[in-house]
């Protein structure tokens, strides 16, 4: 399983979202989103960018190019 396939599922589950909810946000069907999570179809870049914004992580994190989520924490 590719890293991005695993990460989009983990991010969705960690945020207590259903495939249907994410599909609606992306403007696609639940069936197509499920295919992205299974790795049966490649996700369009516009969806990758939208998920990055939604989950507040970098696209590099989703793609497995970095283990750093890209979230910026304020120093105390």
User: What does the domain layout of the chain look like in residue ranges?
Assistant: 3-63
Rounded average pLDDT over 3-9 = 96
What 8-state DSSP symbol labels residue 39? T
Q: Does domain 3-63 have CATH number 3.50.50.60?
A: no
Predicted TM-score (pTM) above 0.75 = yes
* Coil vs helix vs strand at 16: coil
In sequence order, the 6+-apart residues with CB closer than 8 A to the CB of 27 are none
Distances in Å between the alpha carbon of 71 and those of 15, 32, 65, 75?
Answer: 15, 28, 15, 13
Which tokens go with 42? 């490649």
Q: State pLDDT tens for residues 19-36.
A: 999 999 999 999 999 999
């Amino acid at each position: 399983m590719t890293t991005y396939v695993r990460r989009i599922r983990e991010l969705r589950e960690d945020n207590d979202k259903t495939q249907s909810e994410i599909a609606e946000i992306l403007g696609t069907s639940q069936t197509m989103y499920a295919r992205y999570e299974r790795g049966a179809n490649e996700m369009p870049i516009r969806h990758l960018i939208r998920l990055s914004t939604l989950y507040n992580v970098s696209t590099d994190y989703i793609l497995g190019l970095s283990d750093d989520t890209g979230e910026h924490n304020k120093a105390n």
